[in-house]
Amino acid sequence: MDFYEKNGIIPYINAHDTYTMYGGSRMAENTLQAMKEAAASFVDLKQMQIQFGKKAAELTGNEAAYFTNGAEGALLLCACICIAEDSEYYYRKLPEILGTKREFIVMRAQRNAYDAALAVSGADIVEIGDADETLEMELEGSINEKTAGVVYFASTLYQRGSLPLETVIAIAKKYNVPVIVDAAAQLPPKENLKRFTQAGADMVIFSGGKTLCGPQDSGVIFGTRQWIERCIRFGAPEHGICRVSKTSREAMAGLYIALENYVLQDEEKRDGELREILRRISERVAKIEKEITLKIIERGPVGQKYPRLFCYLSEKNSSEKIVSFLKKERIYIGEDRINNAVYISPLNLYKEEADIVAEVLCKALEAE
């Protein structure tokens, strides 16, 4: 019997995406094995951070790296080390801010559910621009002695009102202000692991529990040696505000192996597997007699490079009804309410699960 069922929980099939709400992603056997082995012995956690950070940086073509308990914990740590400047005393006092630096500049067009972590540090968020446009002079004009950093959400969709990252970096550099890039979900392609650091960002954040398929409570900051040294100096296991987001040795071990798997992965082959999953589903669904339009969208929800299958419904059907039908059958799928469509991400589906999703989706579509 399944572990969850034995304990009174019925699991779902995740055809929606790598959402934390459902558990994110699945770890590979060797990742789980590494976590098990890491759990068996005691180590100096700080030494482990330094050593595995070094290895992760080499692996991904970055200058330095630091493991966190997730992208959200990483955002908090990045914010804190910017505010604390180089003072351990300042850091220990957070969220009470003793220094001058206390503002993070964020574009309104990029505000998202995750940037609350910045405010946890005690800092203020200064918004610039609007949904349509952000002007260079707004960024330049809002930088002052209180500016602790500029935070950039690296989604490649919804960038309508944003300045390009390169522009933001160029302006921030002029005033010696660090740029933090939240690229939590920006994989694939794997080249993104170094793309934003190469563009000149000081700290770039990835979630470990999404497409990287590491532990759900893991994340990584890639950055310049100077900033990563500060992460090591102030971050957990040290006491202070970021102790709320400590990283276990098991999570570090798991994320490191997940990164190795990811870097070694044949991207084309993986893409083929994802398409095969979607092909199985669309072939089955295309057979039903209801009016629907099936379409492969070549991007993930924040512009990542992987395919999703969209199923546009006729007026007689509603996406809400289909989603709730599937949910009752313990299947999560996505909903695009504006276009009255439902969609399937192949990222977390085994073939057998894809066949179940196809069957149940057909049933839902044919139900009156």
Which amino acid, one-letter code, is at 204? V
For residue 215, give the 3-state DSSP assignment.
coil
Q: Is 182 in the site for ligand PLP (CB under 6 A)?
A: yes
Among 38, 163, 184, 201, binds ligand PLP (CB under 6 A): 184
Site for ligand PLP in 16-75 (CB under 6 A): 20, 70-72
Residue window 275-314: x/- pattern of binding to ligand PLP, with contact defined by CB under 6 A: ----------------------------------------
**Nearest residue (CB) to ligand PLP, 147 versus 247:** 247
Nearest to 344 by CA among 86, 14, 1, 15: 15
Among 30, 87, 100, 112, binds ligand PLP (CB under 6 A): 112
CA atoms within 13 A of residue 209's CA, in its CB half-sphere: 17
Give the three-state DSSP class for 310. strand
Candidate ranges 51-59, 100-108, 178-186, 321-329; the one touching ligand PLP (CB under 6 A)? 178-186
Among 147, 207, 211, 317, binds ligand PLP (CB under 6 A): 207
Say if residues 357 and 365 touch (Cβ distance below 8 Å). Answer: no
Which residue is closest to ligand PLP by CB? 70
3-state DSSP assignment of residue 91: helix
Applying CB under 6 A, the site for ligand PLP has a residue count of 13
User: Which residue's entry shows tokens 């964020």?
Assistant: 106
Q: Which of 23, 45, 85, 114 binds ligand PLP (CB under 6 A)?
A: 114
- Cα–Cα distance measured from residue 203 to residue 221, given in angstroms and rounded to the nearest whole number: 6
Compute the least distance from the CB of residue 315 to ligand PLP, in Å. 33
Q: Restricting to residues 70-109, which ones interact with ligand PLP according to CB under 6 A?
A: 70-72
Helix (H, G, I), strand (E, B) or coil at 127: strand
Selected from 209, 214, 235, 254, the binder of ligand PLP by CB under 6 A is 209
Cβ burial, residue 214 (10 Å; 0-12/13-18/19+):
buried
Residue with tokens 């991207």: 267
- What residues line the site for ligand PLP (CB under 6 A)? 20, 70-72, 112, 114, 153, 182, 184-185, 207, 209, 219
